[in-house]
Amino acid sequence: PVDGPVTGVGAAWSLYAFTRIYNKDTSTLAEIAALNKDDINGFDRWAAGMYDPDAAKTSDYLFYGSMPLPILLLIDKNIRKDAPAVGFLYLESMAITGLLYTGSTFLTNRYRPESYTTELPMAEKVDGGYRNSFFAGHVALVATSTFFCAKVYSDYHPDSKLKYALWGGAIAATGATAYLRHKAGKHFPTDIIVGTAVGTLSGILVPHLHKRKPGSEQAWMLSPTIGNGYGLAFTYNIR
C-alpha cells in the first residue's frame, strides 16, 4: 500500500484547536455594544437575539445521549463479530467531524445569536465562547453518531424494516438538536445547515467508503493518525 499522511491538518491540530476555541480572547464592551442585527445577512438576521437556556440544556442531553449510541449496534451478533472495525470506523467518523468543526471555529469568530439579546448582561457576552457560532458542533456530532448507526445497520441488514426506524431516528435526533440549538441562540441557520451537512456526510460516507464487496480488497482508507501529533492518513492499495 501507499500511505500519504495529510500533513495539512498540522501536528496536534485537534488538541490545539480545542484549547483555543474554548479560550478565545474576550471581546470588549464596546464591541458587544456595537453589534447590529442589520450587519447580518438577510437569511440569518431573523435569528439574532434568540436566547433560551432551557433549550440549550436539553440540546446538551441529546448531544451526550447520542455519543454512545453506536454501542447498541453490538446487540446484533453479525455486527458484534466486527466490533473492533466498526468501533474504529465510528472513531474515524467522529474524528473527521471534530477536525472540521474545530478548524472552522478556530478560523472564524462569528458571534452567536444570543450575543444580540438584551436578556444577557453585557459583561457575560464578552466571553470568547460567544464567538463560536460557526458551525454547529452539537448538530454535526449528533448527526455523525445517529446516521453512522443507521448506515452501518442498513449495510449489515439491507432487507430489515428496522433500518427505516433508524434512519427516521437519525433525522429526528439531528432535527431536534438543530431546532434546540437555534432556539437557544447558539447558532444561526447557516451554521446549523453546515453542521448538519458535515455530520450527516461523515456519518454516512465513512462506513460507505470502507464497505467491501465479498472477496474484494478495500481500495482506500482515510483514518486518523496518532504519533508525534494528530492528523489524517490516506491509504491506497494499488492492485
In a 10 Å sphere around its CB, with 0-12 CB exposed, 13-18 middle and 19+ buried, how is residue 49 labelled? middle
Distance between CA atoms of 104 and 102, rounded to whole angstroms?
Answer: 6
Q: Which residues of the chain have pLDDT under 50?
A: 1-12, 219, 224-231, 236-239
Confidence (pLDDT) at 109: 94
pTM of the model: 0.85
Residues facing residue 231 across a β-bridge: 225
- Cis amide prior to 135 (ω within 30 degrees): yes
Distance between CA atoms of 234 and 225, rounded to whole angstroms?
Answer: 10
Number of domains in the chain: 1
Confidence (pLDDT) at 106: 87
Confidence (pLDDT) at 60: 98
Closest CA to 131 of 66, 224, 35: 35
Confidence (pLDDT) at 222: 53
The string of pLDDT tens digits covering residues 34-46 is 999 999 999 999 9
Confidence (pLDDT) at 64: 97
Distance between CA atoms of 196 and 167, rounded to whole angstroms?
Answer: 14
Q: Dig out the grid coordinates for 183 from the structure.
A: 432556539
Confidence (pLDDT) at 22: 83
The string of pLDDT tens digits covering residues 103-158 is 899 889 999 999 999 999 999 999 999 999 999 999 999 999 999 999 999 999 99
Q: Which domain holds residue 202?
A: 2-236
| Secondary structure, 3-state, the chain | CEEEEEHHHCCCHHHHHHHHHCCCCCCCHHHHHCCCHHHCCHHHHCCCCCCCHHHHHHHHHHHHHHCCHHHHHHHCHHHHHCHHHHHHHHHHHHHHHHHHHHHHHHHCCCCCHHHHCCCCCHHHHCCHHHHCCCCCHHHHHHHHHHHHHHHHHHHHCCCCCHHHHHHHHHHHHHHHHHHHHHHCCCCCHHHHHHHHHHHHHHHHHHHHHHCCCCCCCCCEEEEEEECCCEEEEEEECCC
